[in-house]
Amino acid sequence: MQGQNVSDGLAPNLCHLQKPRPSFGQGVDTHLFGLKMIASIESMCLPELYKDVAYIKSTYYDLTTSQVPHKTSSFMCYGPVVPEGYGCCYNPRENDILFRCSPFKSSTKADATQFANTLKETLCRMRNLCNV
């Protein structure tokens, strides 16, 4: 590697190193959320960005997902972040993928069983397409 040039063999490794940054709290949404919380704690006026329709829509997650890798079948689960949403953890293993889906118990719209069945059906269709 010289200056800004990267050898073909090294480039994929460098790209791979950049991928997990958001999982270490280095995604822009984490920083913006932190600044919003500081403003709230310090009783500061909320900056206009946080009142913008686009920002509000971009932080309303109907589906919150996260990979929780573990070699055994033990599993952790977490809930949704909005009233009618879902939380969905997944654990990709060598021969299968474990999922846990959950809505708020009080939700009148979110149905974890229906969501899980649709997810399973969709993944099976994707597998079948790949096996053609």
C-beta separation of 70 from 91 below 8 A = yes
Predicted confidence at residue 1, as pLDDT, reads 41
Closest by CA position to 67, among listed 99, 22, 28, 27:
99
Residue 74 has pLDDT above 80, yes or no: no
- Cα dist. 75→26, 97, 98, 124 in Å? 25, 11, 8, 22
As a whole number, mean pLDDT of residues 58-77 equals 82
Give the rounded percent of residues in the chain with a pLDDT score beyond 70: 79
Cβ neighbours of residue 1 closer than 8 Å, sequence gap 6 or more: 7, 10
Sign of CA dihedral 64, 68, 73, 77: negative
Position 15 pLDDT exceeds 70:
no
Residue 113 has pLDDT above 90, yes or no: yes
Output the pLDDT for position 14.
47
pLDDT at 3: 47
| Closest CA relative to residue 80, chosen from 89, 71, 72, 67 | 89
Q: Both ends of the chain: CA-CA distance in Å?
A: 41
Query: What pLDDT is stored for residue 10 in this prediction?
Result: 53
At 2, is the pLDDT very low, low, confident or very high (cuts 50, 70, 90)?
very low
How far apart are alpha carbons 64 and 115 in whole angstroms? 13
